[in-house]
Amino acid sequence: MTPIRHLFLDLEDTVITPVTEGWFNTHLINVPKLKAFIAEYQPDFVHIFSFAVWNQEEKKRFVMGTQPRVEKALGVTLSLVPTVDDDIIRLCEREMNLGMGCMDFSDMSDFWGKAGAFRLNMRQMWKSGSTPVDVVLLDDAVYNEIFEWPDLKVTGRILNIDQMKEPEDGQTLSDSGAV
């Protein structure tokens, strides 16, 4: 069975400039790299996995201010936009069998960092293991890695976007050594 492909994108310094002046004042970055990766990977779903979307209020601002520009520039629809407080930390706690609400952002970041939090979230999201999934996280603050959990039918990669070469006209990311 062909796995369902899920692409997760970090935001700050991966897809947009830092959100120092609000979600309406961010600028898109890495668009050629992102479009080339999307064209080659052909995800079934594209999601956000960012520590910049802290809570529901920040999510509303992202959805109104930045999401439409990201979707238009990349030619995708964003399916999931988890928040740090409501989703990312809670799934980490659940996967690690910790009491709900015992972790805060600093603890999560110190213990697992972005890559670890991503892996914990992926294990929790596809715990049923009924359908094979392939997940990819593109981020600027991670090491390249590959992981696989056969019992959950999950394969995945975490890729540093800064290590990807800019695609030349007509060149795929495989040709440039990025994938």
Average the pLDDT over 136-148 and give the result. Answer: 97
Q: Answer for the pair 152, 126: CB distance below 8 angstroms, yes or no.
A: yes
Q: Answer for the pair 51, 82: CB distance below 8 angstroms, yes or no.
A: no
Whether residue 78 has pLDDT greater than 90? yes
Domain 4-176 has CATH 3.10.450: no
Give the pLDDT of residue 178.
47
Average the pLDDT over 67-81 and give the result. Answer: 98
Using only the alpha carbons of the chain, give its radius of gyration: 16
Backbone angles phi, psi at 50, to 5 degrees: -135, 140
Please, what sign has the CA dihedral across residues 128, 112, 57, 46?
negative
Q: How many CA atoms lie within 13 A of 121 on its CB side?
A: 27
Whether residue 108 has pLDDT greater than 80? no
Whether residue 60 has pLDDT greater than 70? yes
Q: Answer for the pair 14, 138: CB distance below 8 angstroms, yes or no.
A: yes
Give the pLDDT of residue 175.
44
| 113: confidence class by pLDDT, cuts 50, 70, 90 | confident
| Token output for 62 | 């992202």
Whether residue 173 has pLDDT greater than 60? no
Report the chain's mean pLDDT, rounded to a whole number: 89
* Boundaries of every domain in the chain: 4-176
